[in-house]
Structures are given as structure tokens and as C-alpha cells.
Amino acid sequence: MTRYLSRSSIDDSASEGVRLLCFPYAGGGASAYGRWQRHLDAHGAGVRVLPVQLPGREGRIDEPRFTDLNSLINDMDAQLDEELERPHIFYGHSMGALIAYSLAWRRQQRGARLPLAVVLSAYRAPHLPAPQIAHPEASDEELIESLAALGGIPQVLLNHPDFLSALLPVARDDLLLCTGNAASVTSQPLRVPLHLFAGRRDRLVSVPEVVSWRRHAGRGCEVRTMPGGHFFVRAHEDTFLRELASLTRRYVVQAPVPVAA
């Protein structure tokens, strides 16, 4: 069992079929994708959702967090290598988009099996400066205000000190992680299709900044805009998952069917 995927998520997924690995946004964990399987099934997506759990949060709370992107990608590449021999798609939102792209690029560089597609939302292309949610050394109040303004903290949780005290250290380390660049901006384009999602009212990452991923796409690129701001995946979850299901179905059809032993 890889540390990045729970035993239940692996055991529940069939050996055949396409897996959708979902990488979390800054401050988030695997639970952000906890409802996706049911919703994607309802839309006929045909994929098995595998939420990726980074160290230092939720079920891995006692493990040290990564603040260096290259170190994280090296560890993930080694830990997930066996699981990624099966047909799969990467999805990442915000910081998760940076991680998903960087892991795919690393695997391309060493000749490993690549995703059928990479789906990225709400993040700038790697040749642009990383979006600045807040300075890693910002005060607690400033960081909370910045995250809340983007929709990263539900309003109902703003008056829960225990939740905020657990969130802020994770968010700070993730902001440091986002300053890294595990893939050279002068590298060859990624040899898989890229599917991009942008929030029309995203105050952190504009639609043109998402579109700029095109220069890193070596097998075609599609851009879809969504209602809402930076966290449209939460505020307009059903609309987004309907769109996500429509594109994953293409790759379910294309994926090779394993031959029985």
C-alpha cells in the first residue's frame, strides 16, 4: 500500500478500469474529494476516484509536511509508481494542479507510464509566477482573511478556533511548497492531453493565466470556464463534476482492457 492512497480506496477499486487520482489544494486533504465517487458515478464518469493524501494532514497528521516541491514529487513518484502502471488520469485543483503536472512531467522525463490525461483547475501555467494567496509569514489574521476571501474556508468554520489552529500550519507550509517548480519551464511539453478549468470570477488566477498552460501541452489542450471564483469546485460542485465526467468518459472508452491471466 502506498502512503499516498488509503487501503480502502485501493481495495474498493477494481484492478481494471481508469483511476482518477485527485491531488488536494493548499491547506486541504483527501477528504475534499470524499463525495466525488458518488457524484461522478451519477454522471456516468466511469472512473474510480483515488484521493491523494499528502503527509501532515488528516490520516497522516503525525508525518512531517513537505515544503520543497522537488522532494515531494520524488517521494510521490517512488511511492505511487506501482499504482500508476494501471490506466489513470491526474486531477489537481490550485496547488494540486501544480503537483499533478509536476508528477506527470517527472514521470515523462524518466520514461515511466503517463496518465491518459491531466486535468488542471485554478492554477497558473508554470512559466508564470506562482499565485500569491498570502505571504508564508503573514499573520494568522491576514492568512485567514485571504483564505476566506477566496472561499478556501467555509464561513461556518471561521468561528471554530480548533479548526483554524489545525489549518493554518498546513496552509503556511503549502504556500512554501507552491514557490517551487519541479518542472523546468523550458522543458518539452507534456505528452498527454491537458484539460483546463478556470473560474470566471477567480480573483487569484485569471482565465488567461489558466489558458497559458497551452504552451505546455504536447497532445492537445481544452479550456472550460466555470461559474464562480477560485473554489468553484466546491461552490458549483455538481456543475463541475458533470463537466469532469463528460471528459473522463472519453478515456474510459480508450483505456485498454486488461487480459485475464
Domain locations along the chain: 7-254
The 10 Å Cβ neighbour count of residue 42 is: 12
Give the three cell numbers for residue 142: 491576514
Which residues neighbour 155 within 8 Å (Cβ) at sequence distance 6 or greater?
148
Give the three cell numbers for residue 248: 473522463
Stretch among 8-17, 61-70, 83-92, 195-204 having the lowest mean pLDDT: 8-17
Evaluate if residue 94 carries a pLDDT over 70.
Answer: yes
| Interval 113-141 mean pLDDT | 89
| Interval 68-76 mean pLDDT | 96
Evaluate if residue 25 carries a pLDDT over 90.
Answer: yes
Which pLDDT score, from 0 to 100, does residue 249 have?
A: 96
Residues paired with 182 in a beta bridge: none
d(CA 249, CA 128): 31
According to DSSP, residue 15 is labeled S
Give the three cell numbers for residue 18: 481508469
Give the three cell numbers for residue 31: 477528504
Confidence of residue 255 (pLDDT cuts 50, 70, 90): low
Which pLDDT score, from 0 to 100, does residue 256 have?
A: 61
Give the three cell numbers for residue 168: 493554518
Pick 7-254's CATH classification: 2.120.10.30, 3.30.450.20, 3.40.50.2300, 3.40.50.1820.
Answer: 3.40.50.1820
Name which residue leads in pLDDT, 248 or 139: 248
Evaluate if residue 258 carries a pLDDT over 60.
Answer: no
Name which residue leads in pLDDT, 161 or 204: 204
What is the distance of C-alpha 179 from the center of its chain?
16
Confidence of residue 12 (pLDDT cuts 50, 70, 90): low
Nearest C-alpha neighbor of 105 from the set 177, 181, 221, 183:
183
Give the three cell numbers for residue 7: 487501503
